[in-house]
Structure 1
Amino acid sequence: MGAQVSKQVERRKAISTEKKALVDLKQSSGIDFPGSDYHPTDRKNWMLGLDPGKLHINKIVWPGTHDSATNKIGIPCISRPFAQCQSLSIYKQLVRGARVVDIRVQEDRRVCHGILLTYSVDVVINDVKKFLSETQSEIIILEIRTEFGHEDPPEFDKYLEDQLGEYLIHQDDSVFGKTIADLLPKRVICVWKPRKSPQPKPGSPLWSAGYLKDNWIDTDLPSTKFESNMKHLSQQQPVTSRKFFYRVENTVTPQADNPVLCVKPVTNRIHGFARLFINQCCSKGCADRLQILSTDFIDEDFVDACVGFTYARVEGKA
């Protein structure tokens, strides 16, 4: 028992030290970057506001959400706090400005996070289609994967094509160099990541797993995650040279050996440092690699930071 208590004391010290490291870095470096003072007048239509004819797919800093469809997962006040990474529906996230959503499914097409379940993926698709019907120039990256430890839903690729066919941007490397205006009226880049089923093939309506990459590490230590994100991002090619999307997740994850297991208090350790991350990308010379930035519990300031840096790229200021 004494050893376990001692371990937890050390863990709390490590978390406190790492949070202070980020606070100190923020105080010394600030959070300014090209476009940091830009705020879209309409987050629901922020791509339209940046001019679809000037906005290239590979120049966008895409605001994304992590474990996007967990707003109603599990049992309220019992299991939900251990798996809920977003409080808003997919539709409301898109209205707020998110343009990349991360959906995990199991064999019966229900959305899940580990062993906890929520609504059918039909709810997600309907939310996406509702948003698309209310906008004209907003493009979405819809990532759907079979959750670890689960089986692929049967014929799920056909289901996605049937549901989203008219909106789907087909898998094609040339997309990365195109503007939004070039792709319209198609609106959805759907990346389907099955565990055992065949991957989508080149030219198909769906995109294969290799087109959306990241270097996720499982930690609840904020500075450790921040530094890992920076390290892996700096090792990527510039966005203008890549033929895939690369994601950085501004999140940390509860650990089984730590008494704090609810998502929100843990991820809040890094949540407020998204602007600092963009600032550091600029100061360390890897801002030209930044592409997808995702978060838990997305808010307006996170969206504005991503859109602001995108605006700076469009205007040739970044």
Structure 2
Amino acid sequence: MGSHVSKQMERRKAISTEKKTLCNLQGSCSETYPGADYRPPDRKNWMANLNPEKLHINQIVWPGTHDSATNKIGFPFITRPFAQCQSLSIYNQLVRGTRVLDIRVQEDRRVCHGILATYSVDAVIKDVKKFLAETQSEIIILEIRTEFGHDDPPEFEKYLEENLGEFLIHQDEHVFNKTVSELLPKRVICVWKPRKSPQPKAGSPFWNSGHLKDNWIDTDLPSTKFESNMKHLSEQPPVNSRKFFYRVENTVTPQADNPVLCVKPVTNRIHGYARLFIAQCVAKGCVDKLQIFSTDFIDEDFVDACVGLTHARVEGKA
């Protein structure tokens, strides 16, 4: 019992120290960077407002959501706080400016997060198609993966193609150098990551796991995650020379050995430091490597931070 209490005290001290480290960094460093003052006039159509004929796919800093379809997961006030990473529906996330969705599925095509399941992936597809119908020039990266510990849903590629086929941008590495207008009317880059089924191949309507990479660090320590994100990003090729998307996630996650297990208070330890991260990328000379930037509980300022840097790239200022 005594050792357990001692360990918990050490964990709380580490968290407090790391929160202070980020706070001090924020206080001592500028959060300005090229495009930091830009605010999109219409977040629902922010790609259209940046001129699809000028906006290249490899210039975009894509605002993404982590565990995107968890707004209704579990039971309210009981299990939901332990698994919910977004409070908005998929449609409302897209309207707010999200352009990368992280969807995890289980055998019966229901969305899940670990052992908890929520609505069918049908609801995700419906929201995506509703958004596409209401816009003309917005490109979405839809990542769908089979959750750890589950088998792939049967005939899932067939299901996706039947429902999204007219919008799918086929797997082709030339896409990275194209403008948004060159891809239209196709609108969705669908990255399908099965656990046991064969990976999609070149020319397929779907992109494979090699085209969307990250270096996930499972920690609830905010400074540790911030520094790890910076380290791994700095090791990547610049966006204009690589043929895959690379994601940085501005999140920390609850740990079983810590008494705070609800997602929101834990992820709030790093949530407000997205602009600081971008500014530090500039200071450390790796802002040309930043591409997908994801978060829990996405908000307007996070979207604006990403769109602002994208705007600066289009204008040749970053």
TM range (shorter): over 0.9
Where does residue 251 of structure 2 map in the other structure? 251
1:258 positional shift: 0.2
> What are the Cα deviations for residues 145-170 of structure 1, in whole angstroms up to 9, with x where unaligned?
00000000001001111100000000
Q: Give aligned pairs, total.
A: 318
Describe the SS at the equivalent of 1:164. Answer: helix
Cα displacement string for residues 71-106 of structure 1 (whole angstroms, at most 9, x for unaligned residues): 000011100000000000000000000000000000
Structure 2 letter corresponding to 1:203: G
The residue number in structure 2 matching 1:157 is: 157
Structure 1 segment 198-237 matched on structure 2, within 5 A:
198-237=198-237
CA distance in 1 between counterparts of 2:240 and 2:12 reads: 42
Query: Structure 1: how far apart are the matches of 2:228 and 2:183?
Result: 34
For structure 2, which runs of at least 5 residues remain unmatched after alignment? none
AA matched with 1:152:
D
- Quote the offset at 1:204 in angstroms: 0.7
Instruction: Classify the secondary structure of the residue corresponding to 1:280.
Output: helix
Q: Secondary structure at the match of 1:117?
A: strand
Please state whether the residue corresponding to 1:143 is helix, strand or coil.
Answer: strand
Deviation by residue 1:118-144 (Cα, 9 ceiling, x = unmatched): 000000000000000000000000000
Partner Cα separation in structure 2 for residue 19 and residue 77 of structure 1: 27
Q: Equivalent residue for 2:49?
A: 49
1:73 counterpart = 2:73? yes
Partner of 1:141: 141
Q: Deviations over 1:169-213 (max 9, x none)?
A: 000000000000000000000000000001111001110111000
Which residue of structure 1 aligns with residue 8 of structure 2? 8
What amino acid does structure 1 have at the position aligned with 2:263? V
Structure 2 counterpart of 1:44, one-letter code? K
In structure 2, what is the equivalent of residue 299 of structure 1? Answer: 299
Report the Cα offset of residue 267 of structure 1.
0.2
What is aligned with 2:238? 238
Percent identity of paired positions between Structure 1 and Structure 2: 81
1:261-280, CA deviations, whole angstroms, 9 ceiling, x for partnerless residues?
00000000000000000000
> Residues of 2 paired with 1:170 and 1:13: CA distance?
49
Q: Displacement, 1:30? A: 1.9
Q: Separation in 2 of the partners of 1:160 and 1:282?
A: 39
SS in 2 for 1:246: strand
Measured in 2, the distance between the counterparts of 1:177 and 1:39 equals 25
- Deviation, structure 1 residue 291: 0.1
Gaps of 5+ in 1: none
CA distance in 1, matches of 2:279, 2:220: 22
C-alpha distance in structure 1 between counterparts of 2:30 and 2:121, whole Å: 41
**C-alpha distance in 2, partners of 1:157/1:244?**
21
C-alpha distance in 1 between matches for 2:243 and 2:279: 25
Where does residue 287 of structure 1 map in the other structure?
Answer: 287
> Does residue 275 of structure 1 match 2:275?
yes
In 1, the alpha carbon distance for the partners of 2:174 and 2:29 equals 38
Shift of residue 2, structure 1, vs aligned partner? 1.2
Counterpart-to-counterpart distance in 2, 1:14 and 1:194? 37
Distance in 1 (CA, whole Å) between partners of 2:19 and 2:184 is 43
The one-letter code of the counterpart of 1:61 is V
Structure-2 separation of matches of 1:105 and 1:30: 40
What is the alpha-carbon distance in structure 1 between the residues aligned to residue 117 and residue 236 of structure 2? 35
User: Which residue of structure 1 lines up, in the alignment, with residue 169 of structure 2?
Assistant: 169
State how far apart, in whole Å, the 1-side matches of 2:149 and 2:229 are. 26
Hey, what does 2:195 align to over in structure 1? 195
